[in-house]
Amino acid sequence: MKPVKIGLLGLGTVGGGTATVLQRNADEIARRAGRGIVVTHAARNRERADALGLAQTRISTDPWDVVGDPEIAVVVELIGGEHPALDLVMSAITQGKHVVTANKALIALHGNQIFAAAREHGVMVAFEGAVAGGIPIIKAIREGLAGNDIEWLAGIINGTSNYVLTEMREHAREFSEVLHEAQQLGYAEADPTFDVEGIDAAHKLTILASIAFGVPLQFDRVYTEGISRITPDDIAYAGELGYRIKHLGIARRTFGAVELRVHPTLIPERCLLASVDGVMNAVLVKADAVGQTLYYGPGAGAEPTASAVVADLVEVVRTLTADPENRVPHLAFQPDALSDARVLDMEEVESAYYLRMRAQDQPGVLADISRILGDSRISIEAVVQKEPAAGETSVPLILLTRRVQERRVSQAIAAIEQLPSVAGDVVRIRMETLE
């Protein structure tokens, strides 16, 4: 059979990796797909294309030329961001072209619209590379766990924030210092907001939750909190108590509703996710039939993400002649069977909590704090009070609570912060056992 002609939008890190993998592994890919896959048109400059060995590829500086090329059967969108990516993808779909993308923001924010258009025009949109780089987590949940009722998932799905927390823990370094180093190493962007404030992870969690629970994509309902307020002291105190702090994306079914949240989380050191360090990603999934399964690997990078992009290309090529009604649904569940389960407000979510405050070293202070927690029906699991430093009259006080609704904790914190014996804000970090 004739090779399938594809157009690449972008020859940057991931686009370049995709071109490299397609050429280097061309024979093996053709054996798996049943046909060759050839990049015949790409959007970038000629010099970059030649450096990647694409001397025979038509190059256009305008991505619209690639999308409009009548010979192209599959458009691979690797330019990132919302615009013009959305318009390019929608144009490709309306022309009857299949789409492969690694753009998590595009899918999280506009996936419902994109998938509806794809169904209307009978084409596929594949997006494995949009979540966790080279880890095939979307296929694992959508197909490998199709016989399971998924109860919850929790993931380290942003390598930058995981690297920062790892370095802070291993070397007792400040957040700002490690972040600067991450930027110098290329792990963090010049503007690291999307990574360290949890927006990137929230995009990915939106996608994972949809394919796990069969709910529409709802990025605007994800509670998002970053790691910029985490201190070396918090990490050290957590370690003394047998925990590690990880920046997690958590999705869980709860009494007919769904939790969607991204935030720093204390997890037990024995937990599988606790040992995932550096820039690596991992997703832990709990399902009723199989139990817990862990998916681990590089969450970014040229060839790891290209691995996912090329896998999507192989899947698309395999099904080019298949009846559109018999393809795997984009979000795992049939479009008319998506659930209208409500996404919980964060104040309704239940969790255990790590609370750190600075309190006066004098009698009655702990009793006042305990009374406030008791009035809010919050049970204390453990209390750690540090010795005052020389010349200091206040001490760090750490409390671990049992599981309780977030609303109660918020009310208790507001009351504790009004005590004259407590200085500054109370630090709150949620705790999960992931059992």
Q: Is 204 labeled as catalytic in the residue annotation? A: yes
Find all residues with CB under 8 Å of 286, minimum gap 6, and list them: 150, 151, 152, 153, 292, 434
74 in Cβ contact with 100 (< 8 Å): yes
Alpha-carbon torsion, ordered 227, 229, 235, 240, to 10 deg: -130
Q: What are phi and psi of 214, to 5 degrees?
A: 70, 40
Burial profile 103-118: b = 16 or more Cβ within 10 angstroms, e = fewer: bbbbbbbbbbebbebb
Q: Which residues pair with 293 in a beta bridge?
A: 285
CA distance 169 to 264: 14
Closest CA to 276 of 265, 287, 286: 265
Q: What's 275's DSSP letter? A: G
For tokens 């940057």, the residue is 12
Identified catalytic residue from 5, 204, 246, 286: 204
Cis peptide before 268 (omega within 30 of 0): no
- Give the residue among 113, 63, 108, 115 at the shortest CA–CA distance from 85: 63
Q: Going by DSSP bridges, is the β-strand pair 342-343/243-254 parallel, antiparallel, or unpaired?
A: unpaired
Q: Give the helix, strand, coil percentages of the chain, each rounded to 5.
A: 40, 25, 35
> Does residue 18 contact residue 59 with C-beta atoms inside 8 Å?
no
Q: Any idea what DSSP says for residue 419?
A: S
- Cα–Cα distance between 40 and 58 in angstroms, integer? 6
Q: What is the 3-state secondary structure (H, E, C) of 176-221?
A: HHHHHHHHHHCCCCCCCHHHHCCHHHHHHHHHHHHHHHCCCCCHHH
Nearest Cα to Cα of residue 76 among 301, 404, 420, 316? 316
CA distance 422 to 426: 9
- Which residues are known to be catalytic? 204
